[in-house]
């Protein structure tokens, strides 16, 4: 097949869906809000700005799909299935591209192949769905295969133009981009009305991905990889730090971090205020070791993210010090 058949760079033209009997299941085998999240939606702004269907900021200029993201790179290794969202025929597929974080140095090499490893399905009445950024070597279907909703197409990966593990689902009808969360509206945001999804989907405007303990402020690469969390620490650990990984951060959001000791007493309590919008971020805080060592036992950390007084999410972590 031609490389262009699997690119995510499509026309900005949009048309009313008039969905009829067409509906979609989730394109990923996960629980949204627990083992995965929606990181980005279709851009509803026809100009140089961007907005998602709910007038939020979980998108970017010209984004033409919905991104279902995994918490860390470790989740790629355990294998999370990409599923056909509707019955259809495989019209194109690509495999063999490496799983790696995108950098500007790769722009020329990825021209026309932004989707990475992927699958294109054609459905009745001019509908198409496209599944991008699959794991290298995981694509299970061949061009011409018939698939049913829920069939495994491959595994979530990090191929193509992406900086976090996810499957990008594009929906089109007659070549026009369709937002599954607002299929009958040309553009703009607000009350979406009917969707293409066959079940209600949680659509958080931002929140916490995970929390964990470390002996010091971790590197962000370690947080993204899922390698920063410690289940145990020695009594001589140089520090006791709670970190929180978050998505959809907005200027003014607050991330509160609190650590309690085995007796329930507060060891650390601090609130950090975001100073700019950030699609992905982490914050950390804690105490340095003073004296002979930490008191042995189970320590608990709680991270809370709020926006204008509204709770966006809570994550709890524990660490055993011995």
* pLDDT per position as a tens digit, 220-275: 999 999 999 999 999 999 999 999 999 999 999 999 999 999 999 999 999 999 99
Residue 56 · residue 248 · CB < 8 Å: yes
Q: Say whether pLDDT at 20 is over 80.
A: no
Q: Would you state the pLDDT for residue 11?
A: 31
Q: Say whether pLDDT at 6 is over 70.
A: no
Domains of the chain: residue spans and CATH: 3-177 (2.70.70.10), 207-321 (2.60.40.2550)
Mean pLDDT of the chain: 92
Q: How confident is the model at residue 192 (pLDDT cuts 50, 70, 90)?
A: low
Q: Would you state the pLDDT for residue 276?
A: 96
* C-alpha span between 2 and 280 (Å, rounded): 33
pTM: 0.91
Which residue bears the tokens 């999240």?
37
Residues 303-317: tens digit of each pLDDT: 999 999 999 999 999
Q: Which two tokens stand for residue 212?
A: 């964990």
Q: Say whether pLDDT at 16 is over 80.
A: no
Q: How confident is the model at residue 124 (pLDDT cuts 50, 70, 90)?
A: very high
Q: Which two tokens stand for residue 57?
A: 């900021």
Q: Would you state the pLDDT for residue 186?
A: 74
Residue 275 phi/psi, 5-degree rounding, is: -105, 0
- Which residues pair with residue 90 across a beta bridge? 121
Q: Of 190-199, 233-242, 285-294, which range is least confident?
A: 190-199
Please state the rounded mean pLDDT for residues 205-228: 97
* C-alpha span between 93 and 81 (Å, rounded): 16
Q: Would you state the pLDDT for residue 86?
A: 98
The H or E element that residue 132 is part of is strand 127-134
Residue 97 · residue 159 · CB < 8 Å: yes
Q: Would you state the pLDDT for residue 77?
A: 93
Please state the rounded mean pLDDT for residues 129-147: 98
Residues 261-287: tens digit of each pLDDT: 999 999 999 999 999 999 999 999 999
């Amino acid at each position: 097949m031609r490389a262009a058949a699997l690119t995510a760079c499509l026309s900005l033209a949009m048309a009313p869906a008039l969905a009829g009997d067409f509906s979609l299941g989730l394109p990923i085998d996960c629980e949204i809000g627990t083992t995965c999240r929606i990181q980005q939606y279709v851009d509803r702004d026809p100009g140089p700005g961007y907005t998602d269907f709910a007038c939020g900021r979980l998108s970017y200029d010209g984004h033409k799909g919905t991104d279902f993201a995994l918490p860390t790179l470790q989740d790629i290794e355990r294998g999370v299935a990409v599923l056909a969202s509707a019955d259809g025929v495989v019209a194109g597929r690509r495999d063999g591209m490496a799983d790696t974080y995108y950098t500007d140095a790769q722009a020329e090499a990825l021209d026309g192949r932004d989707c990475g490893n992927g699958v294109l399905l054609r459905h009745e009445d001019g509908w198409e769905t496209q599944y991008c950024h699959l794991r290298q070597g995981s694509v299970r279907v061949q061009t011409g295969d018939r698939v049913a909703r829920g069939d495994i197409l491959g595994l979530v990966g990090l191929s193509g133009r992406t900086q976090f593990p996810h499957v990008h689902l594009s929906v089109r009808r007659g070549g026009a981009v369709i937002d599954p969360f607002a299929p009958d509206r040309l553009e703009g945001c607000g009350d979406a009305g009917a969707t293409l999804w066959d079940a209600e989907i949680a659509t958080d405007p931002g929140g916490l991905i995970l929390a964990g303990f470390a002996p010091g402020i971790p590197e962000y690469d370690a947080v993204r990889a899922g390698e920063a969390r410690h289940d145990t620490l020695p009594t001589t650990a140089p520090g006791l730090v709670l970190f929180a990984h978050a998505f959809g951060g907005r200027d003014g959001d607050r991330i509160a971090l609190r650590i309690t000791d085995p007796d329930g007493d507060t060891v650390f309590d601090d609130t950090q205020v975001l100073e700019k919008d950030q699609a992905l971020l982490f914050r950390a805080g804690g105490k340095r070791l003073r004296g002979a060592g930490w008191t042995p036992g189970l320590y608990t950390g709680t991270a809370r993210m709020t926006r204008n007084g509204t709770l966006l999410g809570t994550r709890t972590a524990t660490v055993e010090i011995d």
